[in-house]
Structure 1
Amino acid sequence: MKEHCPPEPFALYPPCTLPDWDTKASVRTDRSPYTLPADLEHQLGERHWFVPDFMPYLDHPDIVLAGPSVVRRLEANQLVYFLDYTTVLEHKLVNRSVETLIHDELGVPVPCAVKTAALQLYTDEGYHALFSNQIAEQVAELYGIDNRSRPARRIRRLLERIQACSPADEAMVWFLIGFVSETIIAKELLSAVRLPLVSTVLRMFKSHLADEARHSRYFCDVFSHLWPLFDDCQRTLAATQLLAILEIFFESDTDWLKESLASVGLHPDTLEYITTRLQQPHAHQQRVRSGAKVTLQALFNAGFFNIAHNRHLFQNAGYIDA
């Protein structure tokens, strides 16, 4: 494990807090509505709806041959899917996760400062759900995207994980879902803000990233604070659940992707080829290793991998080196 948690300026933050939240949180500072730009048609000549690097299937010859309009439609599909997923994730999962800290559900002492920051984070996530939904509604209406009622596979799988555990274990699993979510999303958003996206989308991602960078640091600190306080049973549960949660966060939603690709008239053989490649075990393993670097480093820093059983679990999964 050579990676490190986010570099400066995050390391300057007081631990387990969201410093200067009143002046830095997007819910406090955003003043303009998230409406699509008046020159949208012109922007789409040079800008993207979504990050092409997150859509590796765009380089398939059939899609390249289909031309820019098909590529933009697939980007729009992916953007709406991502924003709908984000709306549910932030509002129903991450906020439920921070409730475990606010209301002392984990059975270990949680300092007042940690609870205050958790309430601030809760407020942030509600705003992220709001602006994600606002943009998703506009893009969906523009393109007539109407297959939005089924929750994203990641959401369904995480909720199934909760439903399968005992009531005594639920709080821990909820907390770990938030921990993983908030320590992987900043990397995703950082890639987004480096590209020429439609101006409204880019502004939204920048606001989201600024908040999530602080949230990531917060959850790294909170995990480091809590890990020594957990008893052996809690630690064993956490190790097993973390492995499963990481796996879920980096799975491909192939059913939705097939619908998206079919919406632009691609041949069924092309759909099968693209989705089969994304489901390869090695591809999934690499997505975890690349996308969860901050999460894994936070575990390392907290002493999680000092326990041989935990280290072997993650080595056997291919998520860390032997």
Structure 2
Amino acid sequence: MGIYQQMAQEQLVRGNPADRPRTAGYASRYGRWEELAGVRRKPRRDFTGQDTGELYFPPELYPVVLHPLVAAKGEVVVEALLLRRLYDYLDFTTELENLAVIPVATRISRGRSGLVLPEQMKADAYKIVTDEAWHAQFSHDFARQIEAGTHVARPAPEDTPPPAFVRRLDALREQLPHEVRGIESLLFGIVSETLISGILADIPRDERLPVPVRELVRDHAEDEGRHHVYFRSVLKHLWPALTVRERQAVGPHVPAAVAAFLEPDYEQSAALLRGIGLGREQCAQVVAEAWPEQTLRRTLADAARPLTRYFAEAGALDDPRTRDAFEEAGLWGARPVRAAPGTPQEVAA
């Protein structure tokens, strides 16, 4: 079979969908999509480039700039780092949509999820593809506007490494048995689309940020609220359809998918800190102290709480190994949190 024929027929979940249990029921949130979708009704957000003393990004969400070693470099350096963080946020959005979400939603829309899904659910996936392409487009466009308005160059995509979630997904996939590989991309779609709406919630209300930045994030968040509900439904169809063996194989890796999405990009931050003149040991210190391990685990657990509940409701935590993995990651129960691979201390050193 030729490579393009193979690509056309590849499924996210392998095997014959007709042989899998089916979950009835799907309540569409896309009946008024033409009226509500950002791509249909929201204007292009224009960055004015006026210097009003506003912050480019909430420093609390990028705590390296609050560290004394960084603050000592002066306000100009801190402002430059926050601008770079805004660039990185926009580039992350573009890459997340193009590399992770659109491919999964496209497979669902084409009936190549490997599950038997309601026809309306597949039709709604087309709308999600359109939404996400718009999010990637307006993020890229806005970054170009900022570059023109501030005269501060952003990193060229071809000169920057892939975002951390890509490397983390590769590592996760390598740990899965060959027969279940592919499910991790569907799981990551569920993880990212059910968690991103919470991440975006506070930024539009932060009056320290330029109005166009807040409007852009608000546009994104409104669409993602509907995506959250949709991908929660995907999980409700996915988990019962998996065999016991498949659940046992992929379940313990769900916390790694959560971490792949939520954990900061330590390597990227360390590289930026080296760029402002900090030594390697100082970079490691700043990254480690900006994201203390126990505090970070609690933050991730709080952010992931709705998703953890969804997996519990689906029955994923009925498997002891999966429940143990959630507990060890601090996502479930009260067991001590075990350090995960790729902690700030390990990466930045």
TM-score (norm 1): 0.85
Residue 41 (structure 1) aligned to one of 40, 51, 68: 51
Deviates more, 1:132-141 or 1:261-270: 261-270
Match of 1:235 among 228, 240, 247: 247
User: What's the CA shift for 1:63?
Assistant: 3.0
Once the two structures are TM-superposed, the CA of residue 315 in structure 1 deviates from its matched residue by 1.1
Residue equivalent to 1:131: 138
1:300 aligns with 2:309: no
Q: Check if 1:146 corresponds to 2:158.
A: no
Look up the SS of the partner of 1:211 in the other structure.
Answer: helix
Provide the secondary structure at the position in 2 that maps to 1:292.
Answer: helix
Q: CA deviation at 1:297?
A: 1.9
Distance in 2 of aligned mates of 1:52 and 1:306: 40
Residues 139-178 of structure 1: per-residue CA shift (max 9 Å, x gap): 3452123364222122232245446656642331111110
Return the match for 2:275 from 239, 263, 280. 263
The 2-side partners of 1:73 and 1:19 are apart by: 43
Aligned partners of 1:121, 1:238: CA distance in 2, in Å?
25
Aligned to 1:20: 32
Q: Is the 8 A contact 2:252 2:321 kept in 1?
A: no
* 1:128–1:215 distance in 2 versus 1, CA, 3 Å: same
Give the 3 Å change call, closer, same or farther, for CA 285–194 of structure 1 in structure 2. Answer: same
Give unpaired runs (5+ residues) of structure 2.
1-25, 335-349
Q: Deviations over 1:20-49 (max 9, x none)?
A: 111111011122x333115x212xx1x221
The aligned length equals: 304
Q: What is the aligned counterpart of 2:83 among 76, 85, 89?
A: 76
Counterpart mapping for 1:175-190 below 5 A: 175-190=186-201
Q: Is the 8 A contact 1:93 1:174 kept in 2?
A: yes
Match of 1:104 in 2: 111
- Matched letter for residue 185 of structure 1: I
Match of 1:319 in 2: 331
Aligned pair 1:209/2:221, yes or no?
Answer: yes
My pick for the range that moved more, 211-220 or 133-142, is 133-142
2:58 corresponds to 1:58:
no
Structure 1 alignment gaps of length 5 or more: 1-13
| Structure 1 contact 51–191 (Cα < 8 Å) conserved | no
Q: Which moved more, 1:215-224 or 1:201-210?
A: 215-224
Report how far residue 261 of structure 1 moved: 2.3
Amino acid at match of 2:225: A
Distance in 2 between residues matched to 1:147 and 1:232, nearest whole Å: 45
Distance, in Å, in 2 between the alignment partners of 1:16 and 1:302 is 19
Q: How large is the Cα RMSD of the aligned pairs?
A: 2.4
Report sequence identity in percent.
26
**Structure 2 Cα separation of the partners of residues 178 and 301 of structure 1:** 18
Aligned letter for 1:251? E
Matched, 1:173 2:184: yes
Does 206-215 or 217-226 show the bigger shift?
217-226
Question: 1: distance between equivalents of 2:299 and 2:283?
Answer: 21
**TM-score for the superposition, normalised by structure 2:** 0.79
- Higher relative CO (CA 8 A, sep ≥ 6), structure 1 or 2? 1
